[in-house]
Structure formats: structure tokens, C-alpha cells
Amino acid sequence: MPQRHLILFAHGARDPEWARPLEALRERVATLAPDCTVTLAYLEFMSPGLMEAVATQVRAGAADITVVPVFLAQGGHLKRDLPLMLAELRAAHPAVALSVLPAIGEQPAVIEAIANCVAEVSGAADRPAGAR
């Protein structure tokens, strides 16, 4: 059984198609980290929610879970809602080490990757400075 358990935590949307890139991300992380169990959880509109995802991992024997917020920045949901959810989860699962990382979009590597992608797809990287 994997020793590391990751939950990729995203906002969620009413449109099921919205989750496709997140499912691809989950698959890619699982490939890069084969020793980890990697699952998705959503704040709203989609399932599983974070409570359900943690409970499922705990039932499977997880004792150490890391929540990775797949948000571009730390806004109200991560500042207000997530701490309340984590407090509830820690009360429900006191034997489980539950940690949370900063919003993934605030990581320098993610900022660099997005900047490179924007420059590439917009064609801006191919233009001389000042050209339109």
C-alpha cells in the first residue's frame, strides 16, 4: 500500500467537462509519483468532496494525507473555507496526519510554466519587442 496519499483539491463546476484537465493532471501526477495514491476532490458542484475523499483514503488505510489546492491563487475559499474543512476533518480523523500545501498556482514553477505557455500560444514569444 502506498505510504503517501495526495488529494488534488479543486473548486468544481456544474459542467462535468470542466474536470477533464484535472483528471489528466491526476493521471500525470500518479505516473510521476507511483508510490502515491492520488485522488481528486472538489469544493463544490462535483464529487467527491474533500470530506468524502479523505474518508475514502482513511478507510483504505491512509495515515498521512497531503491536500494540494489546485487553485491559481489563495483566495477566499482557501483562506476561509478550507481551514474550516480541515478542522472538521482533523476532528473526525484525529489519528491521521493531514497537511495542506499552498495554492499550486503560487508555486514559481507553475508561474513560469503558465508564462511560457501564454507566450507560446499567443505567438508573443515569436515577435520582436514592440511588434504587434
List the catalytic residues: 11
Q: How far apart are CA 122 and CA 89, in angstroms?
A: 43
Strands 4-10 and 97-100: unpaired
Residue 44's contacts (CB-CB under 8 Å, 6 or more residues apart) are 11, 12
Three cell numbers at 107? Answer: 508555486
